[in-house]
Amino acid sequence: MAKPTPLSGFPEWLPGEQLIEQQFLDRIRRTFELHGFTPIETRAVEPLDQLLRKGETSKEVYLLRRLQAAADGAAGAAAAEQLGLHFDLTVPFARYVLENAGKLQFPFRRYQIQKVWRGERPQEGRYREFRQADIDVVDRDTLAVHYDYELPIVAAEALAGLPIPAVVIHTSNRKLAQGFYQGLGIADPPAVLRIVDKLDKIGPARVVAELVDAVGLTDAQAKACLALAEIATDDASFADAVRRLGVDDPLLDEGLAELSAVMDAASALAPGLLKADLSIARGLDYYTGTVYEAKMRGFEKAGTVVAGGRYDNLAESGADRFPGTGISIGVSRILGLLFGAGVLSVSRQVPACVLVAVVAEERRAESDAVAAALRRRGIATEVAPAAARYGRQIRHADRRGIPYVWFPGEPGAPGEVKDIRSGDQAAADPATWEPPAEDRDPRVQGADPAG
């Protein structure tokens, strides 16, 4: 066969990069578990009607078809029978909650770290397969507002331990914007939201122009919408700025109260983490209250790496209602950006800390025994692939960044272990030898740990 080439939009990492992702995921997961979130995994597919239930992302779905299915059968299938790959983890989670409601304890805190797929057009250069790490809380009937500030704090804590640039989470509230537009007498708030959401891409002048031309606002209405979107504060003072715009509406009051509560609590618990930014709208149609969106410092143009919000109506069935709130870390996007910028490195390309040399092929069992003794004490160890001359076995370790090579002794005699970086070599017993703590596992570093 011909040498295969990468598929655009389906990123794959090299071994060293994969070790970095693994450590990122371990750290994220550990933080989620420390906060009492329980793991859940949903199947990769949902019935198409589930995926299309909340509008906008429908155009990005990948449909599945069995290669051997009769073509006519597949073409005629109803949306409920057709399967598509999930495009996020929130829609499947809402479905999971409804399906298993009788077996779950509410409020239900879950984390979910999985791949999602979006059938983007190839030329857009965006990921079509990527991993997200989500936390959500859902409750029955009503969900306390304190989760709206708890979740971004947990996400930020998960990221704070990673060698990545700072992330500031911008937050707003859908009720606030929608109430404000209603108070201005605007008939189609969602249309306004969609245009305001482009503020940082097209700039204030074009936002006003589009609001007038495309949605039919008066110039005064359009300017008021822009003024609202330009409000951004590090604390709850945004509320005064909104009030000064002189718009009145009960839904606006509700949104102001919710966002103020979130900002007040977050300022106390995690100063500087949340920024009230009324330009934030979020594309997904299912959000109903608080919304979040964050970029990495120095990578603002590359887009959102953390996002989420409150969805009060996503999981509903008959009289059962499970409002939720959640936040999602775009793991693949963060890694793709940092790998692309060359700012992450790892101390070795394999888990092994030690390579045990093989004296002669017929004495491989002695090397296997040394390796087994080291592994029993948690030291990752590889045995040399062949009883080549020692120089070649050392090169095998060196090329992978394995720091130690172990030379088994003659039967009955102790072996020796060599730090191939310093050249230091000493007699050692595999039942007791310990590498320095910093050599045990591959070490991930950012180019600028202060970043």
Phi-psi region of 55 (alpha: psi -120 to 50; beta: other; left: phi over 0): left
- Nearest CB to a second copy, comparing residues 117 and 180: 117
From the list 297, 375, 392, 421, which residue makes contact with a second copy (rule: CB under 8 A)? 375
- Nearest CB to a second copy, comparing residues 252 and 379: 379
- Check residue 420 for interaction with a second copy (CB under 8 A): no
Q: How far apart are CA 40 and CA 260, in angstroms?
A: 32
Compute how many other C-beta atoms are within 10 angstroms of the C-beta atom of residue 346.
19
Amino acid at 390: Y
Number of residues located near a second copy, criterion CB under 8 A? 94
Structure token pair of residue 370: 């040394």
- Check residue 327 for interaction with a second copy (CB under 8 A): no
Among the candidate windows 111-119, 160-168, 249-257, 335-343, which touches a second copy by CB under 8 A? 111-119
Compute how many other C-beta atoms are within 10 angstroms of the C-beta atom of residue 60.
19
The residues in 282-321 that bind a second copy, with binding defined as CB under 8 A, are 316-318, 320
264-275 CB burial, b ≥16 within 10 A, e <16: ebbbeebeebbb
Among the candidate windows 95-103, 184-192, 202-210, 289-297, which touches a second copy by CB under 8 A? 95-103
The residues in 134-163 that bind a second copy, with binding defined as CB under 8 A, are 139, 144, 146
From the list 86, 88, 93, 117, which residue makes contact with a second copy (rule: CB under 8 A)? 117
HSE toward the beta carbon, residue 263, CA cutoff 13 A: 23
Asked if 37 and 135 touch (Cβ cutoff 8 Å), the reply is yes
Q: How far apart are CA 408 and CA 384, in angstroms?
A: 12
From the list 18, 233, 267, 345, which residue makes contact with a second copy (rule: CB under 8 A)? 18
**From residue 279, how far is each of 198, 256, 285, 352, 436 by CA, in Å?**
9, 14, 16, 48, 50
- Nearest CB to a second copy, comparing residues 42 and 425: 42
- Check residue 11 for interaction with a second copy (CB under 8 A): yes
> Which residue, 19, 266, 24, 12, is CA-closest to 164?
24
Compute how many other C-beta atoms are within 10 angstroms of the C-beta atom of residue 369.
14
Among the candidate windows 99-107, 198-206, 244-252, 420-428, which touches a second copy by CB under 8 A? 99-107
- Nearest CB to a second copy, comparing residues 14 and 341: 14
- Nearest CB to a second copy, comparing residues 352 and 444: 352
**From residue 250, how far is each of 247, 253, 255 by CA, in Å?**
10, 5, 9
- Nearest CB to a second copy, comparing residues 62 and 181: 62
- Check residue 365 for interaction with a second copy (CB under 8 A): yes
- Could you tell me which residues come within 8 angstroms of residue 219 by beta carbon, excluding any fewer than 6 positions away? 208, 212
- Nearest CB to a second copy, comparing residues 59 and 243: 59
From the list 140, 363, 364, 440, which residue makes contact with a second copy (rule: CB under 8 A)? 364
From the list 77, 129, 191, 234, which residue makes contact with a second copy (rule: CB under 8 A)? 129
Q: How far apart are CA 309 and CA 294, in angstroms?
A: 12
Asked if 320 and 314 touch (Cβ cutoff 8 Å), the reply is no
- Check residue 399 for interaction with a second copy (CB under 8 A): yes
In terms of DSSP bridges, do strands 274-277 and 167-173 run parallel, antiparallel, or are they unpaired?
parallel
Q: How far is the CB of 213 from a second copy (least distance, A)?
A: 27
- Nearest CB to a second copy, comparing residues 83 and 231: 83
Among the candidate windows 97-105, 187-195, 219-227, 232-240, which touches a second copy by CB under 8 A? 97-105
Q: How far apart are CA 229 and CA 224, in angstroms?
A: 9
Q: How far apart are CA 416 and CA 430, in angstroms?
A: 9
From the list 234, 235, 253, 382, which residue makes contact with a second copy (rule: CB under 8 A)? 382
The residues in 42-61 that bind a second copy, with binding defined as CB under 8 A, are 42-45, 47-48, 50, 53, 58-61
- Nearest CB to a second copy, comparing residues 245 and 380: 380
Among the candidate windows 221-229, 262-270, 288-296, 430-438, which touches a second copy by CB under 8 A? 262-270
The residues in 342-361 that bind a second copy, with binding defined as CB under 8 A, are 349-352
The residues in 62-91 that bind a second copy, with binding defined as CB under 8 A, are 62-69, 83-85
- Nearest CB to a second copy, comparing residues 32 and 180: 32
DSSP for 364-418, written as a single string: HHHHHHHHHHHHHTT--EEE-SS---HHHHHHHHHHHT--EEEEPPSTTS-EEEE
Q: Quick check: helix, strand or coil at residue 157?
A: helix
Q: Kindly report the backbone phi and psi dihedral angles of residue 20, in degrees, each rounded to the nearest multiple of 5, phi listed first.
A: -65, -50
Q: How far is the CB of 253 from a second copy (least distance, A)?
A: 20
The residues in 180-219 that bind a second copy, with binding defined as CB under 8 A, are none
Q: How far is the CB of 206 from a second copy (least distance, A)?
A: 27
Place of tokens 């590498």: 435
Q: How far is the CB of 225 from a second copy (least distance, A)?
A: 30
> Which residue, 428, 324, 279, is CA-closest to 91?
324
The residues in 228-247 that bind a second copy, with binding defined as CB under 8 A, are none
